[in-house]
A and B are shown apart, each in its own frame.
Chain A
Amino acid sequence: MLTSEHIKEILNDYTINLRFHARGGQGGVTASNLCVEAFYGYGVCQPKFGAERMGSPTESYVRLSANADLVRSNEQVYGPHFVSVLDPSLLTEVDVSAGIPKGGWLIVNTVMNQLTIQDAVKRKDINIATIDATRIALDVLGRNITNTIILGALFRVSHLFTLEELSDAIMKRFKGEVAGKNIQAIKQAIEETCIYDMGIEPDFTVDSKIPWQQVSLGLPGYKDLDKAGVWYCDEDIIPVGSDQVNTGSWGEWEIIWDEETCTSCAQCWFICPDFTTLRKLGDDGKYHMSGIDVFHCKACQNCLNICPVQAISKRAKQGPAACASPEEGGN
């Protein structure tokens, strides 16, 4: 286990990097802001740049050091020593362990055990801490907001700040009762964090950025691109753009289509904003409904509301926690 003396020593000459995985609305960015505010030295927090939508996977990064010049860099964080995952459904959807150096820490809000997580992220050389933050959030805060609670687990394994510093940052950010409840939840989280220490310590002196990682080799180069930067639909799709984004994971609901009841009136096909109602040309020369593209369906429920024969219904999905409030994002 890391000690606070060791961490303090490292912070004098090196940076310690953090990454938070959450879904839009769960407060991942707020958690990383609180880290910067609670930390005694210099710190920068960057969200993953781009547009953020409610329920979509988000990332935010923190760089901390006691040396001002090291934190002055506006480079993105490539090798996070501590990664916190606020939503367990992200384990299979996003590569949460990307860039974590050997001996780094993965902190997950989950009730799963270490072996299951190791299998999910396919890494045996990192330490894992788990915390059932959702339950604590519902018990103490009365709603499913886990961003401050995960900081309790982070404090327990990292010693980057003291409990007093964290409490101060929270009291600056939230007012009165809300601040008190968050601090109470953090204290409970510190007690309840399950630590699976593999006995490996991270080497903070080595930067684990892969050379030229930012250039994303493997995607087409300028010689491969066609005139006008166009991606022609009948050729191999360039793996960027909205078609590749699993927007289906963002929503809270699963949309179910009942073939028996459906009259193929196509009202849902016209109203769907994402072209996720699928149709097929039948033997009779007419188009018939054939299903829902679950990879892209965000469950906006427009189709459910417009269907004249109630052939479309919804059911709560296991997965992303209910989102609370929109948070800062780009526009």
Chain B
Amino acid sequence: MSVEPMKLFFKEIKEPVETAMIGNYAVAGGVTQTDPDVICAFPITPQTQSVEGLSDVVHQGRLKAAFVNVESELAAISYSTAACAAGARTFTATASQGYLLMSEALPMAVGWRVPLTMMISARAFNAPNLSIWNSWEFVITDYGWNCIVSENVQETYDAAILSVMMSDNSLFPTMFVHDGFIISHSVQKLWLIPDEIVRKLTPRKPRHTITTEHPGVWGGIVTPGFFMEGRMGLDMAKKSVLDVMKNSFDEFGKETGRHYNLIETYNLDNSSKTAFITMGSMCGNIISWMTKNKDIGLIKIRAYRPFPYEELQKIVQEHNIEKLIIFEKSDALNNLLPPFSTSIATALYPLKTLFRCFIVGLGGRDVTRDEFSVAKKKMESVNDMKGQLYTYLGVRETKDKIHGVNM
């Protein structure tokens, strides 16, 4: 049985075409166009239809790729890293707990500098209850992968192609993230890029690989005399990655007419000198809400890792932003701030910009104009950085009371 929406990708796409599909199949289509050699993923929950779509494209003979099913996510990332190290263009995908199960092998893709790409459908992990819905589980660990986050189906389709460019150009693995269900299962209109242009954007480049002609020890044990040099080498190499990502965005924009940036801004020169800062699907909600609330701005983080802290400082300074409202879909049981907010706080440290973090939308709870209005109102009375810097928003305290909201 074939996957209906994938039929578009069975043939060469000759000119830009508008279609409507869910985020997962759009990614499968984008990945098909980048012509991977190996697709390896754990096929069962938590997995997405992107891998199902790709299996169909391979089955139909459109894609000459090895499609490998493995027994767990840990096996998937290990297999993918090795395949990529052997020279194959490799794609894998996961979601939710699957990402956590990959943890052990995630740093090696960075250490070996393999240009692997991975799609993540951001979904909650289980504690204290089981939830399959949207949360940002991907922010809780950071092993040095590049990471771009998409707002809608068009962006996530583009990200499938962009991440191959970024991986190949930076020689660091790249993950691209969309919000689980909200984007992964919503049907939205999008424009597909002709195969010719995708081929032009993602040419094969010579790089270091495992070969028999040039044998070596990959990941061998080292004494304390070597390890730190390896780590610092990685750190130095990471410095130029943001520029590489920027160039990839520029090159992509020139060919397709869709211009992205590390950080995108909306209505920052507003009367309240306040802006929301967030990433992913929530940006769309805020932009719609802003059509009726013109005294507030939005900073949308598109490149989450490496964190574009210099860019953010520049934007905040140039537009004289005094207060930032951070919306984050992960929490901070042990820390002053959750992970995404921590990155922002670090960037803002020299500027002394006031901010508060609002934890919203965990486990798929909708984030609506109610949350935006309350956060905006609460921010008006913030004048210092004292006390707890985050609050939960949209949580029932008791049966008839919402935490922190006077009804």
Footprint of B on A, CB under 8 Å?
A: 32-33, 36-37, 42-47, 49-51, 67, 69-76, 209, 211-212, 214-224, 228-230, 328, 330-331
Contact = CB atoms under 8 A, between A and B. Distances in A.
21 contacts: A36-B189, A37-B20, A43-B189, A45-B187, A47-B185, A49-B185, A50-B132, A50-B133, A69-B288, A69-B290, A70-B288, A73-B285, A74-B284, A75-B366, A212-B405, A214-B368, A217-B402, A220-B398, A221-B403, A222-B403, A229-B129
A221 B20 contact: no
Between A32, A43, A67, A330, the greatest number of chain B beta carbons within 10 A of the residue's beta carbon is seen for A330
A145 B375 CA distance: 46
B183 A224 contact: no
B291 A217 contact: no
A45 B186 contact: yes
Contacts of B364: 49
B185 A222 contact: no
B49 A328 contact: yes
Contact of A69 (B181, B186, B291): B291
B189 A215 contact: no
Contact of B132 (A76, A217, A330): A330
A212 B402 contact: yes
B278 to A, nearest CB: 12
B241 interface: no
A79 B183 CA distance: 21
B206 to A, nearest CB: 39
Given A72-B152, A75-B367, A331-B46, 12 more contacts: A37-B20, A44-B188, A47-B186, A211-B407, A215-B396, A218-B399, A221-B401, A223-B397, A328-B22, A328-B185, A331-B47, A331-B48
Interface of B: 20, 22, 45-49, 128-129, 132-133, 151-152, 179, 181-183, 185-189, 281-282, 284-285, 287-291, 364-370, 394-403, 405, 407
A330 B23 CA distance: 12
Contacts of B183: 74
A331 B45 contact: yes
A211 B133 contact: no
B379 to A, nearest CB: 19
Contacts of B285: 73-75
A73 B394 CA distance: 18
Contacts of A73: 284-285, 287-289
Given A69-B291, A73-B284, A330-B181, A44 B186 contact: yes
Contacts of A50: 132-133, 181
Given A49-B133, A220-B399, A331-B47, A70 B394 contact: no
Nearest to A15: B288
B263 to A, nearest CB: 18
Contacts of A75: 285, 288, 366-369
Contacts of B288: 69-73, 75
Between B20, B397, B398, the greatest number of chain A beta carbons within 10 A of the residue's beta carbon is seen for B20
Contacts of A229: 128-129
B399 A217 contact: yes
A266 B362 CA distance: 44
Contacts of A330: 132, 181, 185
Nearest to B3: A328
Nearest to A37: B20
B187 A44 contact: yes
A197 B236 CA distance: 70
